[in-house]
């Protein structure tokens, strides 16, 4: 029976064959690492302005639904309008606890809003959204945009029956 010892021709042939290149498994591991690293870089480089606008839109949607439910419970019409400092809910009944009051400023000071309303309906007065007390309201749209980058915008809309939701904007 032959044995492989140092210096025998069989052992040196085996060493040459095994060190000829990478195995398929090694190549797949390297490709997986490169793919995960490039995906991480892609997520890290996501546009911060657009992300902040989307976060503000989600928050405003929740505030709208809270104001709508308060309006329905109290039977008092609640309106929302844009102010120079942020926004305001008018018509809400006073609450006993200060933490129950709805916020009136943006999380990001660069955020601005515009109510997309028909020109005739709001002629001569400040545009407002009517949030209740009826369970079905008219379709309404609010556009949030960055003051420093007005091309970046997010639309928040309702058809009057469903809750306000973030809608895609066309560039």
- CB neighbours of residue 153 within 10 Å: 19
CATH node for 49-167: 3.55.40.10
pLDDT-derived band at 9, boundaries 50, 70, 90: low
pLDDT for the residue 168: 65
pLDDT of 75 above 60: yes
pLDDT digits (tens, 9 = 90+) for 12-27: 555 555 567 889 999 9
Q: Which of 69-73, 98-102, 127-131 has the lowest mean pLDDT?
A: 98-102
Q: What is the DSSP letter of 169?
A: -
Q: Cβ-count burial of 55 within 10 angstroms (0-12 exposed, 13-18 middle, 19+ buried)?
A: middle
Query: What's residue 94's pLDDT?
Result: 72
C-alpha to C-alpha distances, 125 to 119, 128, 131, nearest whole angstrom: 10, 9, 18
The mean pLDDT value for 32-49 works out to 85
CATH 3.55.40.10 residue ranges for the chain: 49-167
Q: Is the pTM of this model over 0.75?
A: no
Dump the DSSP string for 106-134.
Answer: -SSTTEEEEEE--TTTTTTS---EE--SS
pLDDT at 73 over 50: yes
Nearest residue to 126 (alpha-carbon basis) of 60, 82, 64: 82
How many other C-beta atoms can be found within 10 angstroms of the C-beta atom of residue 26?
A: 10
Given a contact cutoff of 8 angstroms between Cβ atoms, the answer to whether 63 and 56 are in contact is: no
Tell me the C-alpha distance between 111 and 142, whole Å.
Answer: 13
Determine the pLDDT at residue 106. 92
Token pair in block for residue 62: 């929740």
In this predicted model, what pLDDT tens digit does every residue of 102-131 receive, in sequence order? 888 999 888 999 998 654 444 445 688 888
What is the mean predicted confidence (pLDDT) over 44-73? 88
pLDDT at 7 exceeding the cut of 80 = no
User: Two tokens at 20?
Assistant: 């000829």
């Amino acid at each position: 029976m032959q044995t492989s010892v140092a210096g025998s021709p069989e052992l040196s042939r085996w060493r040459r064959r095994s060190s000829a290149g990478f195995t398929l498994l090694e190549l797949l591991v390297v490709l997986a690492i490169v793919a995960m690293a490039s995906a991480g870089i892609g997520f890290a480089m996501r546009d911060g302005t657009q992300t902040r606008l989307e976060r503000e839109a989600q928050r405003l949607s929740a505030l709208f639904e809270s104001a709508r439910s308060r309006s329905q419970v109290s039977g008092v019409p609640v309106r929302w309008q844009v102010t120079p400092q942020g926004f305001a809910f008018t018509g809400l009944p006073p609450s006993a606890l200060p933490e129950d009051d709805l916020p009136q400023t943006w999380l990001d000071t660069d955020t601005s809003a515009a109510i997309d309303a028909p020109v005739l309906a709001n002629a001569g007065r400040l545009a407002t959204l009517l949030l209740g007390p009826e369970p079905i309201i008219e379709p309404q749209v609010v556009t949030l945009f960055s003051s420093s980058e007005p091309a970046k915008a997010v639309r928040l809309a309702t058809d009057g029956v469903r809750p306000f939701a973030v809608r895609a904007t066309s560039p």
